Amino acid sequence: MPAVKTRSTKIAGRASFYLGVIVLLCICLFPFFIMLMTAFKGSEEAISRNPTFLPKDWTLQHFIDIFNPAIFPYLHYLQNSFIVSVTASVISVGIAIFGAYALSRLNFRGRLAINASFYTVYMFSGILLVVPLFKVIAGLGLYDTKTSLIIVMIVQTLPTAILMLNSYFETIPKDLEEAAKIDGLNRIKVIFYIIIPLSFTGIVSVFVYCFMVAWNDFLFASIFFSGAENFTLPVGLYALFSTPDYVWGRMMAASIITALPVVIMYAISENLIKGNVTDGGVKG
C-alpha cells in the first residue's frame, strides 16, 4: 500500500527527522558543552548556585594555569603520558605487523589455534590480570617505573593490533605479492615494500587504537606508580581531583587538553580511512 505523500507531509517528515538528530546531538554533547564553558568561566562563576550556560566573563586563565608548572604539574603528566603512549604504540604496532602478516599470509600448522588464542586474550584482560601482572612487574624490579606501564600497555594492545592488522592485510590482493616475488623480493621485503605501504591507513588506525588505550589507562598506572614522578594524566588528574583545593575551571581545561590528542588523532585516522574506502556511494 504505497502511501501518497504530499509535499507538506514530506517537509514535516524531514523537519521531525532533523529535530530528532538535533535532540540526539544535544544529549550526546551536553557534557562536552559544559566542560568547554566551565573551562572559560571564572572560579567564582563555576560554583555559583545559579549556574550559567555561557560564561559571563570569558577567561583564558585556567588554560594558562595548567601550563604553569608552579601551579599545576600538568605538563609533567602530559609528557609522561606521551612517553608511555608513543613508546607502547610504536612497539606494539611494530611487533603486530609481523605477527599479523604471518597469520594472514603464511601457511603453517597451528595458525588457527594462534588466531583463536589471540581472540580469547582480546576478550579477557585488564582487571582479571591485575594481581599477577602487579606481581610480575614487582618481581622484575620495574615497580614505579614508566617501563612497567609501557610493557603492560604493549601487551594489552598487541592481540587487538594483530587482529585488526590481520583483517587489513586480508584486503590486499595476493596477486600483488606474487608479482613482487617473481620480481625477486623475499617475504621480508614484501612486508616492507608492499604490505606496509598498501595498508598504511590501517596501520595508522591501529596505532591510534594503541595510543588511545595507553593514553586512557588508569587501572595499571594507579597500581604501578607510587610517586607523582611517573604519573600519567589519568592518575595525575585523579589524584588532584581528590585533593580539596582543586579548581573546577582548571580541571575542565585539563580535561579538554587531555582529550584533545586522542580526539584529533581519531579524526585524522577516520578521514584517512574514509578517503581510501568507497563510502557505498552515499554522500551526506
Residues 21-60 that bind other proteins (CB under 8 A): 21, 24-25, 27-29, 31-32, 34-35, 38, 46-51, 53
Asked if residue 202 binds other proteins (CB under 8 A), the reply is no
Cα–Cα distance between 160 and 89 in angstroms, integer? Answer: 12
Residue 187 is a binding residue for other proteins (CB under 8 A): yes
Q: Is 141 in the site for other proteins (CB under 8 A)?
A: no
Identify the residue whose cell numbers are 589519568. Answer: 234
Minimum CB distance to other proteins smaller for 47 or for 60: 47
Q: In this chain, which of 4, 127, 245, 275 binds other proteins, going by CB under 8 A?
A: 127
The 3-class SS string of 14-79 reads HHHHHHHHHHHHHHHHHHHHHHHHHHCCCHHHHCCCCCCCCCCCCCCHHHHHHCCCCCCCHHHHHH
What dihedral do alpha carbons 11, 14, 17, 23 form, nearest 10°? -70
Q: 124-142 burial by CB neighbour count: b if 16+ within 10 A, else e?
A: ebeeebeeebbeebeeeeb
Smallest distance from other proteins to CB 251, Å: 5
- Determine contact, residues 137/154, Cβ cutoff 8 Å: no
Among 249, 255, 246, smallest CA distance to 60 is for 249
CB of 118 to other proteins, least distance (A): 7
283 binds other proteins (CB under 8 A): yes
Decide if 163 contacts 118 (C-beta within 8 A): yes
CB atoms within 10 A of CB 55: 17
Residue 202's alpha-carbon distances to 18, 103, 205, 235, 274, in angstroms, are 33, 16, 5, 30, 11
Residue of the chain from 61, 125, 147, 201 that contacts other proteins (CB under 8 A): 125
Minimum CB–partner distance for residue 182 and other proteins (Å)? 16
Is 159 near other proteins (CB under 8 A)?
yes
Residue 165 binds other proteins (CB under 8 A):
no
**What is the closest distance, in whole angstroms, from the C-beta atom of residue 47 to other proteins in the complex?**
5
CB of 2 to other proteins, least distance (A): 7
Residue pair 173/108 in contact by the 8 Å Cβ criterion? no
Residue 275 found at the interface with other proteins (CB under 8 A): no
Stretch that binds other proteins, among 5-13, 60-68, 112-120, 172-180 (CB under 8 A): 112-120
Please, which residues have CB within 8 angstroms of residue 190's CB and are 6 or more apart in sequence?
Answer: 177, 180, 181
Stretch that binds other proteins, among 56-64, 67-75, 167-175, 265-273 (CB under 8 A): 265-273
273 touches other proteins (CB under 8 A): no
18 binds other proteins (CB under 8 A): yes
* Window 232-261: residues binding other proteins (CB under 8 A): 233-234, 237-238, 241, 248, 251-252, 255-256, 258-259
Q: Which is nearer to other proteins, 129 or 198 (CB)?
A: 129
Q: Pick from 40, 72, 74, 118: which binds other proteins (CB under 8 A)?
A: 118
- Select the residue interacting with other proteins from 142, 228, 262, 272 (CB under 8 A): 262
Cα–Cα distances (Å) from 211 to 83, 118, 162, 222, in that order, read: 11, 19, 15, 18
